[in-house]
């Protein structure tokens, strides 16, 4: 059985720092992987219509199907950090996990996604304050039942002076993340 990894990319830059680390990850990943771009995918943000409080699922039929399908063994979220938080489109994607929350709290019929491994890759410049972004992404991993991201977080937080493609610690961290996702302990 081939391992499947879903990589959620929160960066608008096709050839930027986050892309460099995703590329390195993919070079070392075994099995299948799919990249879902929060900026380029067809994704509507949650509009708080509250339909998922009464009926399982979301009223929007868009690229969130890749997340809702829950047919992946590992989840990696890779993103730049903007003003100590996630970029807007990634926050919009996260808002679409509301049906999972509402299945448990309003419908009394929790959706428990199958267990999966979780990894996190953050890039950023400036002062490198990623704490707020980590807090914002934690519920995404919890709702999608992905564990291990606390121990498997890769940071390249000085990209204004050291591009991620030249950040040897981050590149090594991404290779270690890939090895862990591939099953090496």
Question: Where residue 185 falls among pLDDT bands split at 50, 70, 90?
Answer: very low
Q: Residue 47: what are its φ and ψ, rounded to 5°?
A: -110, 10
Number of other residues whose CB lies within 10 A of the CB of residue 149: 22
CATH of residue 13: 3.40.50.360
Identify the domain containing residue 127 by its residue range.
4-181
Q: Is the pTM of this model over 0.75?
A: yes
Residue range 101-133, pLDDT digits in tens: 999 889 988 888 999 999 999 999 987 789 999
Does pLDDT of 34 surpass 70?
yes
**What is the total count of domains within the chain?**
1
């Amino acid at each position: 059985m081939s391992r499947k990894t879903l990589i959620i990319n929160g960066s608008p830059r096709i050839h930027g720092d986050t892309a460099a680390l995703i590329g390195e990850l993919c070079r070392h990943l075994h099995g299948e992987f799919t990249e879902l771009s929060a900026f380029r995918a067809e994704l509507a943000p949650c509009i708080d219509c509250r339909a998922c409080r009464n009926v399982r699922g979301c009223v929007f039929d868009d690229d969130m199907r890749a997340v809702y399908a829950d047919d992946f063994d590992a989840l990696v979220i890779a993103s730049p950090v903007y003003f100590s938080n996630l970029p807007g489109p990634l926050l919009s994607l996260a808002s679409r996990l509301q049906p999972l929350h509402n299945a448990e709290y309003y419908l009394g019929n929790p959706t428990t996604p199958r267990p999966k491994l979780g990894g996190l890759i953050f890039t950023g410049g400036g002062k490198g304050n990623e704490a707020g972004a980590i807090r914002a992404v934690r519920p995404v991993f919890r709702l999608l039942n992905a564990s291990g991201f606390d121990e498997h977080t890769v940071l390249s937080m000085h990209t204004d002076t050291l591009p991620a493609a030249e950040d040897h610690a981050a590149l090594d961290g991404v290779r270690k993340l890939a090895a862990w996702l591939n099953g090496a302990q």
